[in-house]
Structure 1
């Protein structure tokens, strides 16, 4: 029976007990979202089912790249989510990269013990796991709404977003060594990844243990589909976009509020849910093709590489555990890791009843839920024990279905029974069941002593043992970590990343005379030896990210822009009265500074240490007009807050009327030919007033040409293909296209330059983040220059060689330093590569 009330979703869906969302694709809401998502052109040749015939993975044979990068790996989740990325980080270190793993504070020792740098991003994974157990799906249960859990989670997400940004630019918390990221690897739940990459202009690579990219092969693991007029393949494909839309509806405002602190513009509501897909962010999935191969409709920048395994730890079991393993048949392992169960005593009783029913021995992991009771000859309780070692000594494993635990069990050929709680756990349970290596998963809320005993009994059957061993024999050919690193390297824009003088270092600066891309180290050496003025260096972005607000037609585009303008004006109008009141409240609490200033400096420690906020003074007596000498100043501050809001009202109006609405209409008109199947050429992104003028002129010439020639060419093509009827259709297309293209061309002459001017103003006014990035790069450059000068052997770089290479480039040559074996030499030839 359903113990928790269902929460209705727009469009008629509801949340099931296992956390999956029932999505009715026949509803108007889902159809509207499907229209925005669009369709995938590729067909798929296999549905989700038993694993396909296994093809041995051929390891990538591309040569190891020699460029050294500062890589930050951002991970949100439990220990099982963090551990695979430790293995990845260690493999990246072997290629010479400096790797920082940014995750929850509780994993600091775990990460540092494996030789990786650690940066805390905040967030409490125990609270997150408890929340997910209570709310396994995307839509919260009513009891969580009443308890205030939703706001707590949103606050936690905001904290982690800020922590992820700090992990990109802040010094090492322990050693103080400067650090600024040159590439980001992240799992999708960290949410900050794309936005941090945009702020820095660096490459991003996503890695995850469950499907997160739209495919026709199988539905999103969190979606339970209901449809009648849609094919199964298209229903599968749409499920990913709908889940993304639901996620963005819950967190989009939190993310956009945080983006404003990074001086980034808000992500349009229509673009936020599918950013990774739209921007073609490289994606690597960490599961074995022995279980499920890559779907046929996933593009080349999406890979399936195999599970991530760390090197087996040097572990010596306690004497009591060794004795337990020696004194009987191999036990069954039962554990739920980082899951926080709401009633651990009851769940422990269910486990013990199931074990007694079968008469088997068991090792029970206490985990974060503190499962346990009195040990006996047949029951042993453990706290922390490496699965890599333990699973070699058990007969079967029962767990929550985390990807890492599932992988470890199958790698050791152990039949697996999964009791899923949320997330990707039901997905892994179904895959294991499809392979024959375990029974069908039992959702946590449905577990009883009887069905748990039946599941364990299934695992002890010879058929399940054989299926598990078969998977293990296939997985021995895989090296998921090495394949993932090769995928990461293959997707880097290396031709745009290399320093022109030190090609094994990442370029972070540009200079105009001579025209060079320079690494932090090379630039600092040139500055110290007076070859370059520090002011001549400009920030270089090897992988700029541009988020455009796409329009589908002039009507919806214009209406949505008008609504957005109106919404901004209403909010600013409200702030005319609300902001002064908030200022007054802050002053009463002893914080005599404007709220706007407070909000700005609250994020400043995340951006640069030089902008730190002084500690709060809440313990000071509240100021009053009689004992506060700055009462006049306080009055001015309150009046200033109101004046700023009035200014925002006027700014919103003029920007909407002069830029946003005309731009939306222009883009909507330009997209009209796409409505009847014609291809529309994309224009270059508008980054500033210069690019805005260029795009405006280019769009004008192209729009006028396409509009006027279409009137003639469309009837001709139609007649050629369909005769007289085709000519009529072509005339209609040509007429509509001419009106749309000519209108877009004319409006674009004003809209694109105006949009560019707004971009330039935004960049000049909101430059705090850019200044922080400059300081961080300069700080690390100084650190590197001092370090390599004192280094010896292959790590030492001859300053004189760098200076000579620079002088050669000034003379028009192509001086460059190249590393050959363990020595550095200079190639001064004009023909040098």
Structure 2
């Protein structure tokens, strides 16, 4: 599979993904594209840019529901800033909002009045990595330099940090916090897995297209062979999203699955990891203006385009030098590349100055991270001003055109102010935004930074000064000013919540965290953390009667197409697991013997140079870095029980006698894993794969596929086995008679012949699936029940965290918390109990 992917998609020197449409894999993927009606590209281009009415959101109680919402973001300030605006709007609706991101933005987030949680990761390192490896994939130069390993370690650190952001108390106030909904941008990677572990709704939001469409290709993809491969442009565009997702999962899937193990979640199969958000139909909101990119008409209703997220303009007083320059002549153009690190800033500065001189304009050049202009104060007889930090919202109102790298936020700010825009893309989605601005007529075609010269930059500047470019930019600004992207995004978030399932039955403005069984015939009562604490204090309920409630269950099912590919996929997975386990028999003892020496010195240095601040213990971080399961973030006394050596023997002689024991344990772990992979693979996974493949086989020849229900435990496994068996006998054997009759009614003798063939095929597939499913479905149910009994630390930790927040919020014994009328809670509960 890896070789097939490498032959069909590869990274270029600028880090984008070249997708080879002539490859066998791409032609195969084209057959898997959903068979919806083909998109008429011309019709899409003519579609209106007006936003449709916002998603419906009706409050069902006297107040809007109040949720604990964690927003998980990875990226630069341009990625974080829109979510700050979103968080502020969510707080206006009564939600408690925590923004989880890099430490660099802590002060920025806190000063906006939002809760902040540090998740690790250095955005400066990420930016340096992106400059060397634009897009998501590493170059060979970075592989040789070890950059990819650094990025993988950083991702592992952030995954763990994002999970803690869902369940740990506020670092500043120590107030307990358990997330009841998650909003995230896709590169944070942890989102769907945290939501699955918690059983809460997830909503993705992003500034660039991340959902498969036939309308345009993935912003990080270059299509090779389009038009010559026999693959239509529409299908090629769709394939580009699949290729980028597959390559991303290929690079990080093992890191994510190692981390999932610490959450007691099963690994995500390689075939399901790519495109997981789409297959699960996770709600998605894109924060760009439909005036720039209308919503493709092949995106379903749970995907929304809402407009750019703009914060309230900050108050700003310019330096006297800047104020004098702006008043000294006609409005200048703006040139800036923000946090882009440029190899030769002096050469770029000279190019900019020559183009400015040739066009006779005045200009403001932002120094940025590359320090454009060096130590110069001004150039060209005072016609060029070198700028430090200045809010774009203020500055762009006072310039005539903007020239920049094409970040989504900078692009949006320039267009909102009606300024013609020149984009000089460096990497990632920047060429995409340059193309969209040009298509709207608000700027010339983008100029890739490696092709930038005095001539083409001068022509671009002259284009921006034309009445046509100004008129197009003003039309765009008029449309964007009529939008309220943040408010619409909040409405879209609310509309996609399973509101009827989330509300507490006693206090409808709060989210349910517990469920309580009542007398037979009455449905269980959903209780919020606060209501449960009041009822516990009044002895209305008992703690052991409360069960953890999950408002949005996420099941990652392994999709099977036919018995052959299903069995081959299962065999491949089982073989790979056995080979890895066999290698661990040798590798783990070596790691135990070698790491014990290095960990003494590194741990000692780490403890003193990097004191813990809102982070986990260092041994846990090391386990995640090296791809081994980390301990759950339990209270210290419980964590020490799980790993008695985690805080003892560091740098001391006590560690040396444990080397042999650690080596033996590692070897035994490998042996145990080998037999586990063998037993589970051949006695559980293979029969289930074949049974599922047979059950789905009728889809290949136009037959109906029966769904016996999802298997989650021994009860549902037994039920699915029985239903599938009965269906297989009735439809499989009975179909030999009924299918020819149906065919004859439709098409006469020919239809009868077709029906006979379908009936015989159904008898083979359905009966075989039913018989084999008796063992396969029942076995899968028993396995899942047994696994649930063994892997329950995460559920226990969530339960305890929720109980702690309930005690804190209800103010039991503390004299603090929400204003909750206990009498109202008790009376409402009594009415529910009486039915």
Normalising by the residue count of structure 2, what TM-score does the alignment of the two structures yield? 0.90
Deviates more, 1:738-747 or 1:759-768: 759-768
Distance 2:562 2:278 in 1: 21
Distance 1:469 1:357 in 2: 26
CA displacement, residues 15-67 of structure 1 (integer Å, 9 cap, x when unaligned):
445543232222112223334x4324133233598674443654556445611
Distance 2:680 2:53 in 1: 55
Q: Which residue of 2 aligns with 1:234?
A: 235
Q: Which residue of 2 aligns with 1:712?
A: 737
Distance 2:664 2:621 in 1: 14
In structure 2, relative to structure 1, the CA distance for the partners of 1:746 and 1:393 (3 Å cut) is same
Distance 1:275 1:248 in 2: 10
Preserved CA contact (<8 Å) 1:501 1:802: yes
Structure 1 residues without counterparts, runs of 5 or longer = 1-6, 814-833
Distance 2:596 2:80 in 1: 43
Deviation at 1:635, TM superposition (A): 4.1
Q: Tell me, yes or no, if structure 1 residue 256 matches structure 2 residue 254.
A: no
Deviates more, 1:84-93 or 1:610-619: 610-619
Preserved CA contact (<8 Å) 1:524 1:782: yes
Q: Which residue of 1 aligns with 2:614?
A: none
In structure 2, relative to structure 1, the CA distance for the partners of 1:202 and 1:716 (3 Å cut) is same
Q: Which residue of 1 aligns with 2:535?
A: 526
Preserved CA contact (<8 Å) 2:5 2:247: no
SS of residue matched to 1:723: helix
CA displacement, residues 571-594 of structure 1 (integer Å, 9 cap, x when unaligned):
22222222223223344457799x
> What is the CA RMSD across the aligned residues, in angstroms?
2.6
In structure 2, relative to structure 1, the CA distance for the partners of 1:566 and 1:55 (3 Å cut) is closer
Q: Which residue of 2 aligns with 1:344?
A: 345
SS of residue matched to 1:22: strand
Structure 2 residues without counterparts, runs of 5 or longer = 604-616
Q: Which residue of 2 aligns with 1:831?
A: none
In structure 2, relative to structure 1, the CA distance for the partners of 1:636 and 1:250 (3 Å cut) is closer
CA displacement, residues 759-788 of structure 1 (integer Å, 9 cap, x when unaligned):
112221121211221121111111101189
Deviation at 1:678, TM superposition (A): 2.4
Q: Tell me, yes or no, if structure 1 residue 108 matches structure 2 residue 103.
A: no
SS of residue matched to 1:604: coil
Distance 1:97 1:401 in 2: 33
In structure 2, relative to structure 1, the CA distance for the partners of 1:434 and 1:49 (3 Å cut) is farther
In structure 2, relative to structure 1, the CA distance for the partners of 1:759 and 1:82 (3 Å cut) is same
Deviation at 1:745, TM superposition (A): 0.6
Deviation at 1:179, TM superposition (A): 0.8
The equivalent position to 2:828 in structure 1, one of 805, 814, 825, is: 805
Question: Map of 1:504-519 to 2, 5 A cutoff?
Answer: 504-513=509-518, 515-519=524-528
**Number of residue equivalences:** 796
Distance 1:216 1:773 in 2: 41
The equivalent position to 1:160 in structure 2, one of 158, 161, 165, is: 158
Deviation at 1:489, TM superposition (A): 0.6
Q: Tell me, yes or no, if structure 1 residue 620 matches structure 2 residue 643.
A: no
Deviation at 1:751, TM superposition (A): 0.7
Question: Map of 1:207-606 to 2, 5 A cutoff?
Answer: 207-225=205-223, 226-227=225-226, 228-373=229-374, 374-376=376-378, 377-513=382-518, 515-589=524-598, 599=623, 603-604=630-631, 606=633
Deviation at 1:312, TM superposition (A): 1.4
Distance 2:24 2:753 in 1: 34
Preserved CA contact (<8 Å) 1:666 1:743: yes
SS of residue matched to 1:682: coil
Question: Map of 1:161-176 to 2, 5 A cutoff?
Answer: 161-176=159-174
In structure 2, relative to structure 1, the CA distance for the partners of 1:700 and 1:200 (3 Å cut) is same
In structure 2, relative to structure 1, the CA distance for the partners of 1:64 and 1:381 (3 Å cut) is farther
In structure 2, relative to structure 1, the CA distance for the partners of 1:686 and 1:479 (3 Å cut) is same
Distance 2:236 2:66 in 1: 43
Q: Which residue of 2 aligns with 1:820?
A: none
CA displacement, residues 288-310 of structure 1 (integer Å, 9 cap, x when unaligned):
11112111111111111111111
Distance 1:56 1:75 in 2: 26
In structure 2, relative to structure 1, the CA distance for the partners of 1:76 and 1:404 (3 Å cut) is same
In structure 2, relative to structure 1, the CA distance for the partners of 1:380 and 1:448 (3 Å cut) is same
Deviation at 1:618, TM superposition (A): 8.5
Deviation at 1:90, TM superposition (A): 0.8
Preserved CA contact (<8 Å) 1:161 1:191: yes
Deviation at 1:100, TM superposition (A): 0.7
Normalising by the residue count of structure 1, what TM-score does the alignment of the two structures yield? 0.91
Deviation at 1:461, TM superposition (A): 1.4
The equivalent position to 1:763 in structure 2, one of 763, 773, 788, is: 788
Distance 1:208 1:185 in 2: 10
The equivalent position to 1:675 in structure 2, one of 700, 705, 730, is: 700
Q: Tell me, yes or no, if structure 1 residue 648 matches structure 2 residue 673.
A: yes
